[in-house]
Structure 1
Amino acid sequence: MNNARTAPDLLSLASGAANAGNEALPLRAAPHNLDAEQALLGAILVNNEAHDRVSGFLDPHHFFDPVHQQIYETAAKLIAGGKQATPITLRTYFETAPPIEPGLTVPQYLGRLVTNATTIINAYDYGRTIYDLAIRRHLILIGEDMVNAAYDSPIEFPPGDQIEEAENRLFSLAENGKYGQGFLGFGTALTHAIEMANNAYQREGGLSGISTGLRDLDAKMGGLQASDLIILAGRPSMGKTALVTNIAFNVAKNYKAERQPDGTDKVLDGAVVGFFSLEMSAEQLATRILAEQAEISSEKIRRGMINEAEFKRLVQVSQQMSTIPLFIDQTGGISIAQLAARARKLKRQRGLGLLIVDYLQLLSGSRRTSEGRVQEITEITTGLKALAKELEVPIIALSQLSRQVEQREDKRPQLSDLRESGSIEQDADVVMFVFREEYYVERTKPSEGTAEFQTWMEKMQMVSGKAEAIIGKQRHGPVGTVTLAFEGQYTRFGNLAHDQYLPERHE
């Protein structure tokens, strides 16, 4: 086989009749290098160790020539099965294959590949050449699809969706092009661990992750860890949105960065926060934070029931808050793919350090998912965990709980209470529940003047203004309960004075 053999140029075949009799238009074949493909296949057939050098990133579809694709795939399967891949062992699989050209069968061609084989030393470089050319061909295909879609302009595929699909395909192509890190030497892994420990040692509070601003929660979790998926769940009115809003503001408020000689910013504390508010508007979210910081009831702010002094305090606080790096996306009903695309964009433009999703069940999966809601939730949680690792940021995703909590005497939630709990519990690094016993005790108020009323008053006094953050799962640390202060009128969680802790519960 020689380089005169090229794949048919589809464009030339389609245009041939139309251009008959006219001046020939310049036509270009798709990027490829048959020499590199032949040399690599020959090296693999001579020494199967050559396959190990390229198998981490090179797949059969990266080869331009269909016959080369079949040879590489067959050889790879034999090697994976612990067998030798040589012209003799491959011969069986190509005995009935059509000839490559008159007088040249595939088994004969395998012998030619071995004769012209390169050395194993060059295998990686040839593999990279083949891969890079395949990526260029894929780029051409994406470009052609974009042009065709723009010309056709189907009603069900508006320009916004076309842009989003092209962006996702391009980003997917770019991510695949990283090949993956492969194995890390244990010495390298140890170096990373020591660097993390050193950062924790030098940081105020001794945290390896981002501080939530809640002392006891940080002590239990070591801060919010990069690449972790943290599920924060609770029944309605427990305050899960309030808690995650408090954390978002604390993290953004503490953001400090130092410009490096290479022009990049080294984050010293806090983080840039991206907040996907799928249920509440950006205005409602801002009102909550404003109420918390100005210590004015959010209800009073919404109804305009404030005096001049309170209004001046609102203006002053809002001016102080306006510069913090907290970015809110209030688009409802977006898909996990859309969320990922927007998060990547924020990471490129602003340097994202923490991502929050309120809440998980309002996301949708891909259009291809038709197996049901459980399968869709699995796709969403898997996508969020992959996004956390890809962007190297913690992601906090809020989740609903099933109603079975209300049927128990002890209303404290458990892992089994998560809706579609299989995938959520499996993919999450941390599962945390928000629980306020005050909410339930308040609704059992008996008639005043009775003995039960006195008992109720004593219990209310014990639980009033307190909340529990119950860590039901934590891959990198202990589980347990953290008691927090909760001020309902400001929707604010805070640190509890040590003499205010609830008595320890014995399981």
Structure 2
Amino acid sequence: MAEPLRLIPAAADAARELPHNIEAEAALLGALMIDNRLVGDVQMLLRPDHFFEDIHGRVFTAILNMADKNMVANPVTLRPMFDADEAMKELGGAGYLAKLTGSGAALIGAKDFARQIYDLALLRELVCVGRDMVQGALDTSEAIDPKGQIEAAEMSLYKVAESGGETGGTKTFKQATQLAMEMAEKAQNSGGALSGITTGLESLNARTGGLHKSDLVILAGRPGMGKTALATNIAFNTARRWVREEEEGVEDKKRAGARVAFFSLEMSADQLATRILSEQAGISSENLRMGKITTSEFRNLARAASDLQSLPLFIDDTPALTIAALRTRARRLKRQHKIGFIVVDYLQLLQGSGNGRDGNRVQEISEISRGLKTLAKELDLPVVALSQLSRAVEQREDKKPQLSDLRESGSIEQDADIVLFVYREEYYVAAQEPRDPDDPKMEEWRAHMERVFGLAEVVIAKQRHGATGKVKLRFEANITRFSDLAEEGYYADNH
């Protein structure tokens, strides 16, 4: 009869408190050493730190390293790695490896053992999170911050739910290189322009490569420029692309579409839905709101509404959200609906964690922009945050926005990976129309208006991944739709 497995002292002390199954760990390692082909079945689920017994985690790492080199991993080949291991000596020396392979029956249940080891690791993480919550709530020696503790607890629970208790974001250069190669392959397969999530605008994709994971994108402009319209267009295009790729069976890592969460602090959910329906049905949103539509237009509207019912676009129109509350809701949406893209409309309507009585709005905006960048990294998805520009734009003869026009701009510019400005010259030219139809300048004004009518520019003022410059687009104001301008191109800054 096989000798029962013995725990090293440190593990034995903890065993009385934390969920574990040493026998399952031993059986799995034995099965992996008997049949190395099983490594491929479990390495996507398990990490070394999922093992309760530390020495088991190190044996698992050694097996993975051998398999990665296409070398046989068994007690004989692994022995030199553990001859001097003190923890292994306490378990009887390297002969312990041979003892692990004593039962071939484990081969049948290897996947089940792996799943149980993973689940028990999650339970241990939950225990640790619970202990930290209790200790933090009982400790009143420092400033009491219940909301901060709730935010920290939510973040800890999210990490457990998403990654099985991953405690760090460290990656080897090999892992980082694999991610870079996957991104390059995705760009190549899409025709060389798209390595991230699509904006639905080919000319914009061509200059940014799409929207990249962990990026904070600031989309800014003065009122009337079409910030919300452009953000809504992009959100819709991304969600629609996800539906199409889902139907075509495209692999997740090769997709250019995503499920979208739209946090609308300014407009209600039905107002946003009206905009999208207007765009898709080709009906003026104003006529739609006032009921001035024909029977055929109503049929188009009903058809568009039916097509869009399955769109993975989730709208949260809660007003006056704090950055902490937004992050909590975003984590929940990621966990429940697997969202891959977030839009926030707009940044200045968010609130910081303070009570606002100190009146330091610049500091509050800094907290909000940092919070959005942290959220993008934590959830590993792009966040597009809309932002207002200061009135300084209106006081200049040249109305094109600059980075310095961002309200409370320092932290926003610093935290953003990409800053986009929406600019429509038509808006300003229309405001200069002479009041007198017989004014000599009327013809000049009409000619100018004709040149700029229906045109928009997206100015790329900052981009960590590439050049700055501008992209010209078509804008249909009556249905609030941006689209590519075939005859125009992209102009990059050369300085």
Structure 2 length normalisation: TM-score? 0.68
CA deviation map 1:289-333 (0-9, x unaligned):
111111111111111111211111110111011111111111111
CA deviation map 1:322-359 (0-9, x unaligned):
11111111111111111111111111122211110000
1:242 and 2:242 aligned:
no
Please show how residues 182-197 of structure 1 align to structure 2 within 5 Å. 182=170, 184-185=172-173, 187-197=174-184
Query: Tell me, what secondary structure is at the counterpart of 2:342?
Result: strand
Answer yes or no: is the 8 Å Cα contact 1:259–1:266 preserved in 2. Answer: no
How far is 1:243 from its partner?
0.5
Query: Tell me, what secondary structure is at the counterpart of 2:255?
Result: strand
Mapped partners of 1:474, 1:134: distance in 2: 38
Please show how residues 395-414 of structure 1 align to structure 2 within 5 Å. 395-414=383-402
Answer yes or no: is the 8 Å Cα contact 2:203–2:490 preserved in 1. Answer: no
Answer yes or no: is the 8 Å Cα contact 1:258–1:267 preserved in 2. Answer: no
Unaligned 5+ residue runs, structure 2? 1-8, 10-15, 19-84, 90-122, 139-145
Q: Indicate the residue corresponding to 1:336 in structure 2.
A: 323
How far is 1:184 from its partner?
2.3
Match of 1:472 among 434, 453, 461: 461
Mapped partners of 2:186, 2:308: distance in 1: 28
Seen in structure 2, the aligned counterparts of structure 1 residues 120 and 369 have a Cα distance that, compared at 3 Å, is farther
Q: Indicate the residue corresponding to 2:419 in structure 1.
A: 431
Match of 2:127 among 120, 123, 136: 136
Mapped partners of 1:135, 1:268: distance in 2: 33
1:209 and 2:196 aligned:
yes
Seen in structure 2, the aligned counterparts of structure 1 residues 254 and 503 have a Cα distance that, compared at 3 Å, is closer
Mapped partners of 1:389, 1:134: distance in 2: 22
Mapped partners of 2:314, 2:167: distance in 1: 32
Mapped partners of 1:493, 1:181: distance in 2: 38
Please show how residues 109-188 of structure 1 align to structure 2 within 5 Å. 136=127, 138-140=129-131, 142=133, 167-168=154-155, 170-171=157-158, 178-182=166-170, 184-185=172-173, 187-188=174-175
Structure 1 length normalisation: TM-score? 0.66
Q: Which moved more, 1:361-370 or 1:333-342?
A: 361-370
Aligned residue identity for 1:423 = S
Q: Which moved more, 1:361-370 or 1:278-287?
A: 361-370
Query: Tell me, what secondary structure is at the counterpart of 1:494?
Result: strand
Q: Indicate the residue corresponding to 1:67 in structure 2.
A: none
Mapped partners of 2:186, 2:253: distance in 1: 12
Query: Tell me, what secondary structure is at the counterpart of 1:310?
Result: helix
Q: Indicate the residue corresponding to 1:459 in structure 2.
A: 448
CA deviation map 1:388-425 (0-9, x unaligned):
11111111000001101100000000000001101000
CA deviation map 1:81-114 (0-9, x unaligned):
xxxxxxxxxxxxxxxxxxxxxxxxxxxxxxxxxx
Seen in structure 2, the aligned counterparts of structure 1 residues 501 and 260 have a Cα distance that, compared at 3 Å, is closer
Seen in structure 2, the aligned counterparts of structure 1 residues 420 and 176 have a Cα distance that, compared at 3 Å, is farther
Seen in structure 2, the aligned counterparts of structure 1 residues 207 and 375 have a Cα distance that, compared at 3 Å, is same
1:221 and 2:208 aligned:
yes
Seen in structure 2, the aligned counterparts of structure 1 residues 336 and 188 have a Cα distance that, compared at 3 Å, is same
Answer yes or no: is the 8 Å Cα contact 2:281–2:304 preserved in 1. Answer: yes
Unaligned 5+ residue runs, structure 1? 4-28, 32-117, 123-131, 149-156
Seen in structure 2, the aligned counterparts of structure 1 residues 30 and 386 have a Cα distance that, compared at 3 Å, is same
Q: Indicate the residue corresponding to 1:153 in structure 2.
A: none
Seen in structure 2, the aligned counterparts of structure 1 residues 258 and 460 have a Cα distance that, compared at 3 Å, is closer
How far is 1:366 from its partner?
1.2
Seen in structure 2, the aligned counterparts of structure 1 residues 306 and 409 have a Cα distance that, compared at 3 Å, is same
Seen in structure 2, the aligned counterparts of structure 1 residues 272 and 179 have a Cα distance that, compared at 3 Å, is same
Match of 2:366 among 375, 378, 381: 378
Query: Tell me, what secondary structure is at the counterpart of 1:451?
Result: coil
Answer yes or no: is the 8 Å Cα contact 1:257–1:266 preserved in 2. Answer: no
CA deviation map 1:167-203 (0-9, x unaligned):
4564478789533233523x44333222211111112
Q: Indicate the residue corresponding to 1:393 in structure 2.
A: 381
Q: Indicate the residue corresponding to 1:36 in structure 2.
A: none
Seen in structure 2, the aligned counterparts of structure 1 residues 503 and 335 have a Cα distance that, compared at 3 Å, is closer
- Calculate the aligned-residue CA RMSD, in Å: 4.1
Mapped partners of 2:247, 2:165: distance in 1: 29
Seen in structure 2, the aligned counterparts of structure 1 residues 348 and 502 have a Cα distance that, compared at 3 Å, is closer
Aligned pair count? Answer: 382
Seen in structure 2, the aligned counterparts of structure 1 residues 451 and 260 have a Cα distance that, compared at 3 Å, is closer
Mapped partners of 1:209, 1:134: distance in 2: 32
Match of 2:333 among 323, 346, 367: 346
| Percent identity (aligned) | 51
Seen in structure 2, the aligned counterparts of structure 1 residues 329 and 463 have a Cα distance that, compared at 3 Å, is same
Q: Indicate the residue corresponding to 2:405 in structure 1.
A: 417
Larger Rg: 1 or 2?
1
Q: Indicate the residue corresponding to 1:310 in structure 2.
A: 297
CA deviation map 1:144-164 (0-9, x unaligned):
889x9xxxxxxxx99xx9988
Query: Tell me, what secondary structure is at the counterpart of 2:372?
Result: helix
Match of 2:265 among 278, 291, 297: 278
